[in-house]
Amino acid sequence: MTTATTTDGSWLTALADWAVSLMDVIGPAGAGIAIAMENLFPPLPSEVILPMAGLAASRGSFSLVEALAWTTIGSVLGALLLYGLGAWLGIARLRAIATKVPLLHPEDIDRTVAWFGRHGGKAVFFGRMIPIFRSLISIPAGITRMPVWRFTLLTAAGSLVWNSIFVLSGFFLGESWHIVERYAEILQYVVIAVAVIGVAWFLYVRVRALLESRGTSRGPEPELD
């Protein structure tokens, strides 16, 4: 199998080449291990690993079904580890942490948990198709103790959709799979931009409220005769 050539000797290339070597040595299980690691360490790019699995399948190293099955299994296993982290954190511990973090309140945790209780199923399924949040969405699922069977099914379904896009791109496009990667990068930049704007707006609202509360507590300035 050829090595990934998406970057110019950077750490990203080294990570991709490591994933490719896993597939060379242990077959489709290597793709599963690499994707499980990608869940735990998001800098490991699924947009590179998955097409490489498809490319290997197109060359007969293993079958397309094996590529899809093992990468989905890897996605689920990695997500379950993060789910376990969230379950260990729990709501009570997270509320306690929020009391010690500037500009955060325990009520923020309560609102987030309530939102996840209403929309958690959709969040897990569609979150598996959003860069960065693919991994992070497993943590609130664990915190809210979403039933493991439901979390596993939703994660497997969402991961299969995402994985299929990139595995099939490697299988059918061959060395031209980078076409799909470009669109994935654009999506990633959009997600990062939205997240940054959201955090900036949250900080702006909290800082303004804090300043207003301090002004109110001091009371009006005394008038001079």
What digits encode the pLDDT tens for the residues 165-196? 889 988 887 766 666 666 666 666 676 677 67
pLDDT band at 164 (very low <50, low <70, confident <90, very high): very high
Q: Rounded to two decimals, what is the model's pTM?
A: 0.76
Token pair recorded at residue 152: 């596993």
Is there a domain that residue 62 lies in? yes
Asked if residue 108 is part of any domain, the answer here is yes
| Average model confidence (pLDDT) across the chain | 79
CA neighbours closer than 13 Å in the CB half-sphere of residue 191: 13
Q: Residues near 102 by Cβ (< 8 Å), separated by ≥ 6?
A: none
Question: Looking at this protein, which amino acid is placed at residue 202?
Answer: F
Note whether 81 and 39 are within 8 A (CB): yes
Written as six digits, the tokens of 87 are: 């379950």
**123 domain-assigned:** yes
Q: Which two tokens stand for residue 56?
A: 């290997």
> Which domain range does residue 19 map to?
11-181
More confidently predicted of 110 and 161? 161
Q: How far apart are CA 83 and CA 189, in angstroms?
A: 26
Assigned domain for 219 exists = no
More confident residue, 197 or 82: 82
* 216 falls within a domain: no
Q: What is the pLDDT of residues 30-73, one digit of tens each?
A: 889 889 888 887 666 777 788 888 888 888 888 999 999 999 99
CB atoms within 10 A of CB 11: 9
> Within a domain: residue 148?
yes
- For residue 7, what is the DSSP state? S
The pLDDT of residue 50 is 87
Asked, for residue 173, whether it belongs to a domain, the answer is yes
Confidence band of 5 (pLDDT split at 50, 70, 90): very low
Residue 196: exposed, middle, or buried by beta-carbon count in 10 A (0-12, 13-18, 19+)? Answer: exposed
